[in-house]
């Protein structure tokens, strides 16, 4: 034990000496000493700054923006009756007097006299529509017009009062990463505002409802009741109509979707001026390219729209576009996927002229194309068009009209959708779309369809 004590003391003294020398030789934690330079060290001051959409300093205080828009968003109540299949058991439960079926959503006032844009699905099948403004005053509203394809409807508040409203912005100039606010009435809570950024544009959800597939994606919280509400930029301008969320439970899961304001405004203007939506089309069909399709079609391009068919008599054919051409841009807007093409064209009307850039045999070309209106009709929530001779021959038919898009969820249960054919209504052959003018929707007893598998299906109303 006596031998260990001197060794322990020596070790302790050595450790203390080493620590003292280390402290003397170690540079200060806040001092920068360049090793191979005699120049004095520079001092840097770091300031953390957040930037706004136009690169100006921003403290993320959105109060001024909210003050501009909060009174321009309203609560929309859809009051309707129960359908026949629901009414049977509801009547057994409640008795002869059935309660009203209530649906709720949001709407955006876009003019001082009370014109409102909302979603079509918010007011679908409504018998009566009520609007509640941010000051808790309730008004009746009338439906001016709607378009199921873009999921947009236009309402008008009854009365002569002046209303606060939100002005349209240019959704084409909105950028990914830009701050936006979602304003609506989720869970029937008036004037709820959430903030986020634009996460993506021209987003295609790959839904099978044949509706608009050109959404602005945002991470601003959107929940049940936000449908039809406003998506605004930091200047308080409307850049989108909040429309959809994608989740199993129907709640917000980190991202949501809005119809771009340029499309919503075009539908709004068309309904007010023409009573319906004027759809200008190129007259092409095909596929958006990726590496797999590029290999299949034996082309070098992996982005763009590959033309597989041209509609007879439409603008693309008249301008000289051909099958196997690859559309790269329209009016300078890049076309990387199908949603880019449909989204841009959805903001145009018949008669508008667009410049199409396309690749043919490896050479980039340009052609002016006049958009034209394809002769189509909406019947029984089905968009139909005439069959040409080749289509009639291929299906071994003498008559019928082709379903181009279906908005009828009930018929989808029967396997009736896109590319099906209406053969007869109430036992009468349908020669072309004009024949359908002879039938009132409420007087339809039966419709004979030919589905896409070639099977004949009778639907009884």
Burial class (CB in 10 A: 0-12, 13-18, 19+), 101: middle
What is the distance between the alpha carbons of residues 284 and 267, in angstroms, rounded to a whole number? 22
Strand partners, 192: 184
Residue 451: closest CA among 410, 367, 395: 395
% helix / strand / coil in the chain, to the nearest 5?
25, 35, 45
Of 106, 121, 256, 346, the catalytic one is 121
Of 106, 146, 227, 329, the catalytic one is 227
- 377 phi-psi bin (left φ>0, alpha ψ -120 to 50, beta other): beta
Active site residue 80: no
Q: What are the DSSP E strand ranges found in 278-380?
A: 284-288, 305-310, 326-330, 333-334, 353-360, 363-370, 376-379
Strand partners, 369: 354
Asked if residues 126 and 78 have their Cβ atoms less than 8 Å apart, the reply is yes
Residues near 397 by Cβ (< 8 Å), separated by ≥ 6? 387, 421, 423, 450
Reduced to 3 states (helix: H, G, I; strand: E, B; else coil), residue 90 is helix
What is the distance between the alpha carbons of residues 303 and 340, in angstroms, rounded to a whole number? 11
Q: How many CA atoms lie within 13 A of 159 on its CB side?
A: 13
**107 membership: H or E segment, kind and range:** strand 101-109
Active site residue 227: yes
Of 147, 151, 219, 325, the catalytic one is 151
Reduced to 3 states (helix: H, G, I; strand: E, B; else coil), residue 89 is helix
What is the distance between the alpha carbons of residues 277 and 265, in angstroms, rounded to a whole number? 11
* Cα–Cα distance list, 88 to 93, 103, 245 (Å): 9, 20, 32
Active site residue 52: no
Strand 446-450 with 428-429, pairing: unpaired
- Residue 327 dihedral angles phi and psi, to the nearest 5°: -75, 125
- Catalytic amino acids? 121, 151, 227
């Amino acid at each position: 034990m006596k031998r260990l004590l001197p060794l322990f003391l020596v070790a302790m003294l050595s450790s203390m000496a080493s620590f003292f020398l280390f402290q003397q030789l170690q540079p200060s934690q806040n001092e920068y000493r360049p090793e191979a330079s005699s120049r004095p060290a520079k001092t840097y001051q770091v300031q953390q700054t957040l930037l706004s959409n136009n690169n100006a300093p921003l403290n993320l205080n959105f109060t001024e923006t909210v003050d501009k828009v909060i009174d321009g968003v309203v609560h929309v109540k859809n009051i309707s009756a129960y359908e026949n299949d629901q009414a049977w058991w509801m009547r057994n439960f409640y008795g002869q007097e059935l309660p009203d079926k209530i649906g709720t959503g949001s709407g955006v006032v876009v003019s001082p006299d009370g014109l409102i844009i909302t979603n079509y699905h918010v007011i679908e099948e409504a018998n009566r529509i009520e609007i509640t403004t941010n000051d808790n005053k309730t008004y009746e509203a009338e439906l001016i017009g709607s378009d199921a394809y873009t999921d947009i409807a236009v309402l008008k508040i009854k009365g002569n009062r002046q209303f606060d409203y939100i002005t349209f912005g240019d959704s084409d100039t909105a950028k990914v990463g830009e701050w936006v606010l979602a304003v609506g009435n989720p869970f029937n809570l008036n004037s709820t505002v959430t903030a986020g950024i634009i996460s993506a544009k021209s987003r295609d959800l790959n839904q099978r409802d044949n509706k608009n597939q050109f959404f602005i994606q945002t991470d601003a919280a959107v929940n049940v009741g936000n449908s039809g509400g406003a998506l605004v930029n930091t200047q308080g301008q409307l850049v989108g109509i909040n429309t959809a969320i994608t989740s199993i439970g129907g709640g917000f899961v980190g991202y949501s979707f809005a119809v771009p304001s340029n499309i919503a405004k075009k539908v709004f203007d068309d309904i007010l001026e023409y009573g319906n939506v004027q759809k200008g089309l190129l007259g092409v069909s095909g596929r958006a390219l990726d590496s797999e399709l590029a290999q299949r079609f034996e082309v070098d391009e992996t982005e763009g729209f590959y033309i597989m068919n041209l509609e007879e008599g439409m603008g693309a054919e008249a301008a000289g576009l051909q099958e196997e051409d690859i559309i790269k841009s329209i009016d300078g807007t890049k076309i990387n996927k199908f949603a880019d093409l449909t989204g841009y064209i959805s903001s145009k009307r018949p008669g508008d002229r667009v410049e199409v850039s396309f690749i043919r045999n490896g050479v980039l070309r340009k052609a002016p194309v006049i958009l034209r209106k394809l002769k189509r009709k909406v019947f029984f929530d089905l968009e139909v068009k005439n069959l040409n001779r080749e289509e009639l021959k291929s299906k071994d038919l003498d008559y019928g009209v082709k379903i181009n898009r279906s908005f009828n969820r009930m018929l989808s249960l029967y396997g009736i959708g896109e590319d099906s054919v209406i053969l007869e209504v109430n036992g009468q052959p349908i020669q072309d779309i004009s024949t359908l003018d002879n039938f009132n929707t409420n007087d339809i007893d039966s419709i004979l369809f030919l589905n896409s598998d070639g099977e004949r299906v009778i639907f009884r109303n």
